[in-house]
Chain A
Amino acid sequence: MKVMKFGIGQPMRRVEDLRFITGKGQYTDDIQPKRATFAYVLRSPHAHARFKISDTAAARAAPGVLLVLTASDLAHLGTIPCNGVPDDVDMVLPDYPVLARDIVRHVGDAVALVVAETLAEAREAAELLEVTYSSLPAASGITAAMAVGAPQVWPDVPGNVGYDTSMGDAVKTEAAFAKAAKVVSIDVVNNRVVANYMETRAAIGEYDAKRDVFTLTTGSQGVHGIRKTVAQTILKIDTLKLHVKTPDVGGGFGTKGFVYREYPLVLEAAKRIGRPVKWVADRSEHFVSDAQGRDNITTAHMALDARGRFLAMKVDILGGVGAYLSAFAPYVPWLGMSMATGCYDIGSFFGRTRIVYSHTVPVDAYRGAGRPEAAYVLERLVDACAREMKMPPEKIRALNFVTPKQMPYETLTNRTYDVGDFAGALKAALAKADYAGFSKRAKLASKAGKLRGIGIASYIECTAWGDGEEGSVELRPDGTFLMRVGTQSNGQGHETAYAQVVAHYLDVPLERIALIQGDSVQVPTGNGTGGSRSIPVGAAMLTRASVILVKQLKDLASDILETAVTDLEIEDGAIRVAGTDRQVTYGQIAASPKASKAKLKATAEFVPPEATYPNGTHICEVEIDPQTGETSVVGYHLVDDFGMTLNPLLLAGQVHGGIGQGIGQALMENTVFDGEGQLISASLMDYALPRADHLPSYDFETRNVPSTTNPMGLKGAGEAGSIGSSPAVMNAVIDALYRGYGITTLDMPATPHKIFEAIRDAGGYR
C-alpha cells in the first residue's frame, strides 16, 4: 500500500493537544453537575486498630450535611473483588469491604463517608464523628510481616503469606547448580512507588430514579471493567443499570484501572440523597488511598559454567500486596516470575513466589506490573555474574542471549517468544552509546572529581495478551468519521494514533476522524487500557474495521459512479475512478440515498492469539559526586524493538515517560513506612519525583522486528521504558561505585544519602 500522508508511521502531532494546552481539557473535577453535593472520606490514622463509631448524630446534624455512611449502612453491598489470582494458585481472598468494618488495616483505610452541600462542610462534619480506635500492633512492610510472631493482617492467612507457588523444574535446577563452575547470588529490593499521576482520582455518582439507572463519571483506564465490577459484584444490579463515563484522564499508569471504594460509595450516596455526589482526592489522599506499585524483595542465583554460560537460574520472590488484595495484586509478582529468564537461553529454571500482606496501603499493577521487577532482578544478576566471571557485561549478555535462529522460543516459564533479535539491539545500543569510548570519559570525569559508571539492561517484556477489542468505524452524514473503541487514553494520545490507522485506509486528515471512548453506552464493549494493549489490540482491530469500511464504501461508490469496484481508488478524502477526475466524496456517499446506516459502519474484533514481546537494550551513563553522593544521569541511549512504529512522536513520548519513571524509581522515589505503619513520605515535600532537570536527553531508536501475533506487526510500547530503565540506571550506579570503591550492591532508590553510606562503609571517606 502506498504511504498515506496522515497514515501509519507518520510523525503526526497530537490532535488532542490543542485542547489540552489551551486549558480546554475536561477532567472529572471540571464537571459540575447541577445540584452537586460533595463527599469526604474519613480515613484511618492508624495502620492497625479495632474501631467503633459510637456516635454519628453530631455529624448528621452539622450544617449542610446530607448523609453519613458507615459500614453498617452498607450491609447490602458486595465487597471489592480481586480478579487477579494466577491459574493453579489456591488462596484465601480476604474481604475488601467498601468501608472498613470493626478493624482498620492501613493508614488511610476508609472508615466513613460524609456528604454535604460543600466539601468544607463535609470535612467539618467528619471531624464530629466519634470514632474510638484501640490500636493493635502493626506489621509494617514485607520484612516485618514475615518475621516470626508478626502481627497477622488476616486471621485466615497464617504468617501473612497469601500464596506460595512455584514454576519450573526444581530437581533439574538443583542438579545444574551442583555441577556449576560458579554460582552468583544477589538480594535485591524493588522499592515501593506511589503513582502520582497529575490528576488525582475523582468520581461523580448520579442516580436517575425514573429509569433506575446509575451514572458513574470517573477518570479510569476503561469504563467497561469498572461497570461490570461495580454493578454486578458490588451494587448487585444489572450491568446495563450502570452507565460509566470517563472524560479526559491525567495519567493512569495502571493505578487508575482498578475499582476503588469511592466509586460504589458515590453511587450509593447519590441514590440515597437523590442528588449528584462528587468526590475528588487531594494529593495527601492519593498517597494513602490509591494502590501503590512494585514492592518486591527477591533473592536470585545463577549457575554458570567456566565459559560464562548460564546453566540454571533460581529466583525467590516476595511480593508485597499491602493490607487488602487490590484488583490484580496476586497476579503481578507471578507475572514477573513468568518473565524471569528474560532474553537469555538458560538451561533450567526454578522460581518461587510468595505474596505477603502487611498493614500498609495496597499494592497493585503499576506501569509494567511484574515485568520491571523481573528485568531488574535479572539484569542486576547478569551484571553480578559479569563481575564475578571477570567478563565484560556486554559479552556475557551476547553469549547467553536467545538467538533469532531459536525463534519461536519456548521459555522455561511457559512463554513463546515469536521473534526478536536481542544481540542486534545490544550491538546497536553499544554503538549509539559509544561504549568503546567510555573509559576515556571515565578518566575525564575522574579528573573532575566524579565517578562515572555505565550500565546495560537488555530487557524483554510481554504485552497485549488475553482479551480482545471489538469496535467500529463509521462514516457520518457530514463526511467525517467516527471510531468507537473500548480502550481509554490516559494521556497517551489515542485520538491521534487511532485516527492515523483510519486515515491510512481512508486518506482523510486526522481532524476529520473523531474517537468515542470512555462511555459504556456509546461504546458497547471494551477491555480498557493496560498491559500496553491499546495499540497492538485496538489499532489492530481498527485496521480490520477500516478495511471492511473501505470495501463497503467502495461498493456504494461503485453504485453511485456506475463503475466497477476494481477501477476505484481512494485518494484525498474521496473515492475516484482511477486515472480520471470522476469521484465521489465521503460526504456525498453518506448523503446518497443508496447509503444505509449499516453500509456506512464497519464493526470488527481482534483477539490476540499470544502476547507480543517488545525488547531492547538501554544503556545509561551516570556521574556520581562522591563528596555528596549525588548521581547525575549524563547519558541515555536505547534501541528498542516495538515490531512496527505507528507514530514515532507518540512512541518517543511513551518511551521517554517510561524512562523518567524508571530513573525516578532508581534514584529518588522512596516510599517509607515507619515501624508503626505510618507513611512518612506522604507528600511531595518528602516523596521525590523526578523533575525536568533530573532527566537527560534520550537517544532513542527502534530496530523493529514485526510481531507475528497481530496483523500490523505491532508490539506494545507503553511500559517498556519503565522496564529497561531502572536496571540500566542501577547497573550504571553500581558500576561507578565498583570502580571507585569496590561496591557491588546497592538497593533502589540510590539516593545521595544511601550512596554516602555505601562509600563511607567501604572506607571511602577515611
Chain B
Amino acid sequence: MFAFTYHRPHSLRSASAMIHKVEEGKLLAGGQTLLPTMKQRLAAPSDIVDLMQVPELKGITVKGSTVIIGAMTTHDEVATSAAVGEAIPALAKLAGGIGDPQVRHKGTIGGSVANNDPAADYPAACLALNATIITNKRKIGADAFFKGMFETALEPGEIIKAIAFPVPSKANYQKFPNPASRYAVVGVFVAKKGKDVRVAVTGAGQNGVFRARTMEAALAVKFNAKSLQGVSIPADGLNTDIHAGADYRAHLIGVMAKRAVAAAV
C-alpha cells in the first residue's frame, strides 16, 4: 500500500467538499474492493474520504411501494432487515449471498453499485427492479446508471446517497457463484411488476450487467419458466475466463433464469 491521507467527514456536504478539494481522492464505502486493490499497490489514491460516519447515507426506509436503502448500508444489514425481507425478499437473499460474513459486515450497497464490478450481485438487482440511484446531485435510473465494466453515470466526486427500489410483485435472484471468490459466474435477477418483466444478468457480460430483452419479452407473454424454453442468449459478448467459457455462461444464463422464474415470489 502507498501512503495516503485519510479523511472522515461527518456530513454529506463536507464529504463532497473534501472529495472535490483533494487531488486524486477516492471515496471509501466499506472498502471491500478498494482496500485490497490498494494493498496490492494497484491503486494509489492521494486521499481517502471515508463515508462511514456520514449520517445521511444510512438507514432503510419503506415509503409506499418503494424501499429506500442508504448507500452506506452494509450487505448484512440488507440481508437481515425485516423491512427488506418483507417487501423484496429476493433483495435480502441476494445481499445474504455476497462474499462471506466479513465482506457482508463491511461492504455496502452504495460501494458495490458505484464500483459496478461486472460480477457483483447488486447491479443485477438494481437493473431488474428498475431502481433509482439517488446521489447528492440528482436521481439516475438504473438503465442509465450502469455504463459498462466498472463504469457508471457518476461524475467525479458525485456521491450516491441511497438507492430506491420499487417493490415488485414477484422477484428472484439465482446466482451460480465462482467457487473461489463467490462472485457471480452468472447471476440472473428476474422481477415482475404489473405487466412489466425485467431480467438482469450479471457476471457474464463483457460490458458488465445487462438486460436479457428476449427473455423479458417471452416472460411478459406468460411469466412461467416454460416460456424461456428455447430462448437462448448468444455467447457473443460474454466473458471467457478460467472458470467458464462464453458458451457455458450463455447456457447458465438460461438455467439460472428458469430457476429464478420458478422460484419468484
Q: Residue B176 at the A interface, CB < 8 A?
A: yes
Report how far A284 CA is from B39 CA in the complex, Å: 12
Cβ B179 vs Cβ A668 within 8 A: yes
Report how far A630 CA is from B252 CA in the complex, Å: 11
**Quick one: closest B residue to A681, CB to CB?**
B242
Q: How far is the CB of A209 from chain B (nearest CB, A)?
A: 35
Cβ B180 vs Cβ A753 within 8 A: no
Cβ B176 vs Cβ A686 within 8 A: no
Report how far A757 CA is from B247 CA in the complex, Å: 9
Residue from B183, B242, B248, B252 within 8 A of A670 (CB atoms): B242
Residues in chain B near residue A284, CB distance under 8 A: 40
Residue from B41, B176, B243 within 8 A of A628 (CB atoms): B176
Q: Map CB proximity to A onto B211-255 as digits: 1 under 8 Å, 0 otherwise.
A: 000000000000000000000000000000011110110011001
Report how far A628 CA is from B179 CA in the complex, Å: 13
**Quick one: closest B residue to A674, CB to CB?**
B242
Q: Map CB proximity to B onto A670-702 as digits: 1 under 8 Å, 0 otherwise.
A: 101000000011001111110000100000000
Residues in chain B near residue A751, CB distance under 8 A: 179, 243
Report how far A765 CA is from B176 CA in the complex, Å: 18
Cβ A628 vs Cβ B242 within 8 A: no
Q: How far is the CB of A669 from chain B (nearest CB, A)?
A: 10
Interface size on A, residues (CB 8 A): 26
Report how far A680 CA is from B243 CA in the complex, Å: 11
Residue from B180, B248, B252 within 8 A of A688 (CB atoms): B180
Which size bracket describes the interface of B in this complex?
Answer: 10 to 19
Report how far A629 CA is from B180 CA in the complex, Å: 16
Report how far A686 CA is from B185 CA in the complex, Å: 12
Q: Residue B181 at the A interface, CB < 8 A?
A: yes
Residue from B1, B40, B183, B248 within 8 A of A753 (CB atoms): B248
Q: Map CB proximity to A onto B104-143 as digits: 1 under 8 Å, 0 otherwise.
A: 0000000000000000000000000000000000000000
Residues in chain B near residue A753, CB distance under 8 A: 243-245, 248
Cβ A628 vs Cβ B252 within 8 A: yes
Residues in chain A near residue B1, CB distance under 8 A: 120
Q: Using a CB-CB cutoff of 8 Å, which residues 293-350 of chain A contact chain B?
A: none
Residues in chain A near residue B245, CB distance under 8 A: 753, 757
Report how far A638 CA is from B8 CA in the complex, Å: 57
Q: How far is the CB of A764 from chain B (nearest CB, A)?
A: 11
Q: Residue A592 at the B interface, CB < 8 A?
A: no
Decide if the interface of chain A is mainly helix, strand, loop or mixed. Answer: loop
Report how far A629 CA is from B186 CA in the complex, Å: 13
Cβ B181 vs Cβ A685 within 8 A: yes
Q: Map CB proximity to A onto B163-188 as digits: 1 under 8 Å, 0 otherwise.
A: 00000000000001011110100000
Cβ A686 vs Cβ B248 within 8 A: no
Q: How far is the CB of B73 from chain A (nearest CB, A)?
A: 25
Q: Residue A627 at the B interface, CB < 8 A?
A: yes
**Quick one: closest B residue to A120, CB to CB?**
B1
Cβ A689 vs Cβ B243 within 8 A: no
From known contacts A120-B1, A628-B176, A668-B179, infer whether A686 and B251 are also in contact, taking CB-CB under 8 Å: no
Residues in chain A near residue B181, CB distance under 8 A: 684-686
Q: How far is the CB of B43 from chain A (nearest CB, A)?
A: 15
Residue from B180, B183, B242, B255 within 8 A of A627 (CB atoms): B255
Q: Map CB proximity to B onto A600-635 as digits: 1 under 8 Å, 0 otherwise.
A: 000000000000000000000000000111100000
Q: Residue A756 at the B interface, CB < 8 A?
A: yes
Between B180, B244, B252, the greatest number of chain A beta carbons within 10 A of the residue's beta carbon is seen for B180
Report how far A753 CA is from B246 CA in the complex, Å: 11
Closest 4 CB pairs of A and B: A688-B180, A688-B179, A685-B181, A627-B255
**Can you spell out 11 A-B residue pairs with CB atoms less than 8 angstroms apart?**
A120-B1, A629-B248, A630-B176, A668-B179, A672-B242, A680-B242, A751-B179, A752-B176, A756-B251, A757-B245, A760-B247
Give B contacts to A, CB under 8 Å: 1, 40-41, 176, 178-181, 183, 242-245, 247-248, 251-252, 255
Give A contacts to B, CB under 8 Å: 120, 123, 284, 627-630, 668, 670, 672, 680-681, 684-689, 694, 751-753, 756-757, 760, 765
